[in-house]
A and B are shown apart, each in its own frame.
Chain A
Amino acid sequence: MIENKGRPNRLGVKGWLGGGRWGFERYLYALHRLTGLALLAYFVLHIGVTSSRAFGENAWTSAMGAVKGPLFSVGEFLVFAAFAFHAVNGIRLALVELGFAIGQPIEPVYPYRTSVDEQRPLAIGVMILAAILAIVGGIGFLK
């Protein structure tokens, strides 16, 4: 067994963003993780609120009253926007991870054109789609 030596120098969570010198897909990577965690937190909250129905009508009315108001409406819109991003970016990732839109291996000739460049139109397209979904959802929340 080879032991690690030296002082630990792992970047940790700040390595997801990396100080602003990284590429577009790295920010999509970080946002995908953050929206995934946010949706998980919402899911737990949602289960908690809706399960109050099991304790009778009064408990249900009280729980629904606690999550009313403009702050929760904005929160619900943010959850929807997170869902829109996470869903369409997840489709992009599924396509890329199955080898679509990344091109074939090529002889590396400088300046190098990588698989990241190959899939960039797909990444931009799904972000536009996520923005449209979020805007349409936002109009729905305003009504």
Chain B
Amino acid sequence: MADHTVTSEVVFRIRRFDPTTDADPHWEDYRFPCPPGMTVLEGLKQIKESLSPTLAWRSSCRMGVCGSCGMFINGRPRLACNTQVSELESSLITVAPLPNFNIIRDLVPDLTPMFKAHAEMQPYIIRDDTREQQQPTGEYWQSPHQLEQYLQFSYCIKCGCCMAACPTCATDPVYAGPMPLSQAHRYSSDSRDGGFAARKQVLSGERGPWRCHFAGECSRVCPKGVDPARAIQLMKRQLVVDYLKLGKQKCPASIAKVPDGVKRREGIPEAPPRTI
């Protein structure tokens, strides 16, 4: 077992591609000392500062929140900022751009098709009460149990790791993919939403969830524990129940009215003034 408390030398094998000079991608090796706790992202920054200033990648927050630095690291899609070199248990670190996306340059994938599919799923609350949404008079009622039905899926950071791991995405450019479909279910399973009928037009088509055959890889690689595979299977059940008309028609949650004749307890400050 390697000692992770001392500086050791590592080799970063990086897949390079410059569309202005290269016909095909190629591998380049960079050897440097790796101090304890160094992440793959920090390794890339070290290479750019001291070994190869032309290396290109996409990153921002450095803390697994923005979803920019998804890469194919030692054979699995991971966030570079969230992956310590020591946890890879190897002195050879291979870094490639996320597969199943076109390569713009070096480690920069073109995520446009994913975001386009995401937009097709109408990933927002859809309701008929437009006036209430523009000029709210209260909060929509939602129980803790109803919150649990979608909360897990709302943690998605759109990094694209699930799309890179999906074997269906590897061969099928029509399939929308785990991220857009799980986000469709995130909103369709929200008790405040009434947009399932609108999303169904896309979901029941050839881009929908029926091309998923539960390889489960999307859930295994998700850095936020979103579990897109679960969302997609639950969406399939929702579609079947809707098609066979087995479920009850659900109305979007109503506004939680403040009960009449209730006084605020002493010592509890008033709510801040409304901003909208």
Contacts and interface: CB of A to CB of B under 8 A. Distances in A.
A55 interface: no
A4 interface: yes
Contacts of B116: 2
A7 B103 CA distance: 5
A137 B62 CA distance: 56
Contacts of A14: 170
A20, A107, A114 interface centre (most CB from chain B within 10 Å): A114
Interface stretch (B128-136, B195-203, B223-231, B257-265): B223-231
B76 interface: yes
Contacts of B224: 108
A69 interface: no
B214 interface: yes
Interface stretch (A41-49, A57-65, A71-79, A97-105): A97-105
Contact of B240 (A2, A11, A98, A107): A98
A96 B233 contact: yes
Given A108-B224, A116-B219, A15 B153 contact: no
A93 interface: yes
B213 A16 contact: no
A37 to B, nearest CB: 13
A95 B213 CA distance: 12
A9 B99 contact: yes
Contact of B225 (A16, A19, A112): A112
A68 interface: no
B49 interface: no
Contacts of A26: 167, 215-217
Interface residues of A, number: 46
Interface stretch (B2-10, B28-36, B144-152, B267-275): B144-152
Interface string B85-126: 000000000000111111111000110110010000000000
B170 A15 contact: yes
A38 to B, nearest CB: 16
B216 A104 contact: no
Contacts of B237: 97-99
B236 interface: yes
Contacts of B233: 96-99, 102, 115
Contact of B167 (A4, A15, A102, A114): A15
B27 interface: no
Given A7-B19, A10-B171, A99-B236, A108 B110 contact: no
A28 B149 CA distance: 28
Contact of A7 (B17, B148, B230): B17
A28 B195 CA distance: 35
Given A11-B100, A25-B216, A6 B170 contact: no
Interface string B158-182: 0000000101011101000000000
Interface of B: 17, 19, 25, 74-76, 97-105, 109-110, 112-113, 116, 148-153, 155, 165, 167, 169-171, 173, 189, 213-217, 219-220, 222, 224-227, 229-231, 233-234, 236-237, 240
Interface of A: 2, 4-16, 18-23, 25-26, 28-30, 32-33, 93, 96-99, 102-110, 112, 114-116, 119
Given A93-B213, A116-B229, 8 more contacts: A5-B102, A11-B167, A11-B170, A12-B171, A105-B227, A108-B224, A112-B227, A114-B225
7 closest residue pairs by CB, A with B: A15-B170, A108-B225, A6-B102, A112-B225, A116-B216, A115-B230, A99-B237
